[in-house]
Every structure is written in C-alpha cells, then in structure tokens.
Amino acid sequence: MVVFGHRGTLVARELGIKVKAVVKQLDDVSSAVAQGQKIHRALIYFLVSAHISSRTYWIGG
C-alpha cells in the first residue's frame, strides 16, 4: 500500500522509471495516522495559499 506519493508512483510505473523509496511495515492504525497527517498538511497548504491570494487581491497585486 502506498501511503505517500500515489501520483509519483503511478507516473514512475507508467514511464518505467525506477525510483528510491522508503519501505516500512505499517499496521492499519499507523497507515491511517500517516494519511491523516498528509491530509492535514494539504489543508494547511490550501489555507495559507488562500490567505496569501486574498491579501494579494486586496492589496491590488
């Protein structure tokens, strides 16, 4: 199961490119926690981007 890098994994497979990976044994709970952290980072990135965009809009940039 791929926890991080789903898109990169698909592209590498399609192009036949070998990539380095970190392989760890994870139970279901650890996998869910890791995916939750990934979603949390994506949400923070989205919120920061939205905040910067709104500030740029109101400043007139």
Question: pLDDT tens for residues 19-56?
Answer: 887 777 878 877 777 777 777 777 787 888 888 888 77
* 12 in any annotated domain: no
In a domain, 45, yes or no: yes
Provide the domain limits for residue 28.
Answer: 23-61
Q: Answer yes or no: are the C-beta atoms of 36 and 4 closer than 8 Å.
A: no
Give CA separation, 48 vs 13, 29, 35, 54, 58, in Å: 32, 29, 20, 10, 15
Q: Is residue 47 part of a domain?
A: yes
pLDDT over 80 at 60, yes or no: no
The DSSP output letter for 60 is T
Domains: count for the chain:
1
- In angstroms, rounded to a whole number, what is the distance separating the alpha carbons of residues 6 and 58? 36
Please name the helix (run of DSSP H) or strand (run of DSSP E) that holds residue 11, with its range, or none: helix 6-15
Global pTM value: 0.40
